[in-house]
Structure 1
Amino acid sequence: MSRLSEFLSPESLWGRLDDPSENAGYEDHPARKGFFTDTSVCIGCKACEVACKEWNQVPDDGYLLTGMSYDNTQQLGASTWRHVAFIEQPLGPASSGAGPTAAPTDLGMPGSRPPGWEREVTLPDGADGADGADGADQGAASGDSGVRWLMSSDVCKHCTHAACLDVCPTGSLFRTEFGTVVVQEDICNGCGYCVPACPYGVIDQRKDDGRAFKCTLCYDRLKEGQTPACAQACPTESIQFGDLDELRERATARVEQLHEQGVDVARLYGADPDDGVGGDGAFFLLLDEPEVYGLPPDPVVTTRDLGSMWRHVGAGALALAGLGAASFLGRRR
């Protein structure tokens, strides 16, 4: 195998990315840092959004209220590095089948009950439906109409296999000693290659100069031993920061706790190191399918076939060169 083929092999590209800092050349580095976001205790206060903007001097996006949602930022972008998603699902009438219907998952979060939505709910044995203490919606016993609110503070996932790093031609994107991925705005040339490379649609370009921006996991704060601004500001500890291995253990225990309480829908997203991106540096506890939160169900690093593609390009180039040489020699004869 040639040195180029060896370099472009999947084993070379991804082989040691269970430790991305070491793979990036940091021989002596701290434990990998990350976020665990427990959406079951998010109250949608947006303190994380404000703290992120204030600390990182991120400009505002204007007010995007559509009249259909309390979510005024809508999505992650160049000027929204933290986005608190509001998933407001009307609880439709289960008997008639008219309108959307969602299973209640009440953990004491705020809810609204617009007129015209009613549903039938069977309470678990022993539940009185008085105040949602047994996991039943507050309006379940009376048959009141309602809306299920799911909230989640979304952020860059700081992937183990980060396609944005592979496609950046200037080195603006780099892996830090903490295992996170950071954009250096003074080096970014605005080419935009990283935008379609991200499997989560996180990276975005600012319209005024075209440069790319995203969450840095407060790299400047990490270097000083401080907690990222969003986690520091979160009043319910929905956003938890720390060593990634410890966070995964904590998240697993939390899911088991919720399952014991009857919240069977709780599941982890992005915590599996064997998924299509090698696990995320920022992962989530969700109360529904990933698609409900606007997350891809099976994210895959978009450059996973890069080595194979270049090998095929090289083989094709050699074949064309051979054909050209044969044609030239044939004409001479």
Structure 2
Amino acid sequence: MVSADSLFGPIDPAPDAGYVDAPPRMGFFTDTSVCIGCKACEVACKEWNLVPDHGLDLLGMSYDNTGALTANSWRHVAFIEQPRPLGRQTPALAGTPTGPSGSAHMAEIASTTPGVPDTDPGLPPAPHPEPAGRMAAGPEFLGMPGTDLPGRQGGGERTDLRWLMSSDVCKHCTHAACLDVCPTGSLFRTEFGTVVVQEDICNGCGYCIPACPYGVIDQRKGDGRAWKCTLCYDRIGEGMTPACAQACPTESIQYGVLDELRERAQQRVERLHADGVPEARLYGHDPNDGVGGDGAFFLLLDEPEVYGLPPDPIVTTRDLPDMWRRAGVAALTMAAAVAVAFVGRS
């Protein structure tokens, strides 16, 4: 893959947009390992930004009633259910006594359980490990009759559902194709490096919608204009935290200086790897990726496709300079051919 930086050169988006003495670039880091799917971010976003009701539609899948980012859903909490074997915990817990010593042992086991984050500076404390440890031990430990219960494979290794939850949002790309194609200047880069739509200037042409590599921007029915997350431009301009991050009870959504968030995110991934969660990875944090890095990036516990994210996003306007150059050469060639033919006849 050819990186966006190799095509356009590395940039800091706000100074590149003409801001003198721009403040540090601000953004979101969403740690999906501590998201509980409460949808407080969705509600806070709608309330603060006066986003219309999306409508109650359970979509026939899980507990997801929004399905995707739309003009009326600037935050979308994805619910993904996965069967996951947890049997490796059972031998360690078999015959574990109850009481203080047993609880301590369960806490030790649960601290290495994938999907159960440990405490980490700057993050909320992990859920109490004892219930998770008891459930992982199986019905024998709980004193329940029978061993061939739903979720058990042949009475042996216990399999349970793993919930992957993630609050998706506009990525506020470093190289934003939506900005390249907007004919009215409705889309603009802010001094914080974010991308905002000015609804009073948008003419509803819709060019920005196919230009977005993430499928974030959408047109509102009965309105026609484009809408998306503004990263609460009005709030951050006053030194406030965006509504979604302010409302998040687990600090899954973290707002701050982008460089600092990237450092914090890397430390979090390293901690999860050390705690036995090798699948933890960052998405959208790399300034050398196809969009020059995102202003909103994520810690994921599975492949991006599982969360509905493109695995290898590329700024869709990356070939425009070459296309214009070739078109210019073709036009000059045709003009020269016409001139030669004209001269030859005379």
Deviation string 1:75-100 (CA, Å, 9 cap, x unpaired) is: 001111000000122x2xxxxxxxxx
Contact 2:5–2:288 at 8 Å: present in 1 too?
Answer: no
Q: Residues of 2 paired with 1:253 and 1:148: CA distance?
A: 24
In the other structure, the counterpart of 1:97 is none
In the alignment, structure 1 residue 308 sits paired with structure 2 residue 302: no
CA drift of 1:13 comes to: 7.6
CA drift of 1:305 comes to: 1.2
In the other structure, the counterpart of 2:179 is 165
Which of 192, 204, 229 lines up with 1:215 in the alignment? 229
Q: Which amino acid aligns with 1:15?
A: G
User: Map of 1:126-275 to 2, 5 A cutoff?
Assistant: 126=92, 133=110, 134-135=112-113, 140-142=136-138, 143=152, 144-275=158-289
CA drift of 1:140 comes to: 4.7
Deviation string 1:267-319 (CA, Å, 9 cap, x unpaired) is: 00000111111110000000000000000001111111111110001001111
CA drift of 1:11 comes to: 8.1
Structure 1 residue runs of 5 or longer lacking an equivalent are 1-9, 92-101, 105-120
Give TM-score scaled by structure 1 length: 0.84
SS in 2 for 1:325: helix
Q: Residues of 1 paired with 2:93 and 2:268: CA distance?
A: 23
Q: Residues of 1 paired with 2:227 and 2:305: CA distance?
A: 24
Which of 49-58 and 60-69 deviates more? 60-69
Contact 1:16–1:23 at 8 Å: present in 2 too?
Answer: no
Q: Percent identity?
A: 72
Give TM-score scaled by structure 2 length: 0.81
CA drift of 1:148 comes to: 1.7
CA drift of 1:185 comes to: 0.2
The structure-2 alpha-carbon separation of the partners of 1:228 and 1:331, relative to structure 1 and needing over 3 Å to count, comes to same
Q: Which amino acid aligns with 1:189?
A: N
Contact 1:38–1:285 at 8 Å: present in 2 too?
Answer: yes
Cα RMSD between the aligned structures? 2.1
Which of 319, 325, 332 lines up with 2:333 in the alignment? 319
User: How many positions carry a matched residue from both structures?
Assistant: 295
CA drift of 1:328 comes to: 2.0
Contact 2:85–2:159 at 8 Å: present in 1 too?
Answer: no
SS in 1 for 2:89: coil
Deviation string 1:186-243 (CA, Å, 9 cap, x unpaired) is: 0000011100110000000112121000000000001111000000000000000000
Structure with the greater alpha carbon radius of gyration: 2
In the alignment, structure 1 residue 74 sits paired with structure 2 residue 67: yes
Contact 1:88–1:149 at 8 Å: present in 2 too?
Answer: yes
The structure-2 alpha-carbon separation of the partners of 1:150 and 1:12, relative to structure 1 and needing over 3 Å to count, comes to closer
CA drift of 1:160 comes to: 0.5
Structure 2 residue runs of 5 or longer lacking an equivalent are 97-105, 115-131, 139-151, 153-157
SS in 2 for 1:122: helix
CA drift of 1:329 comes to: 2.1
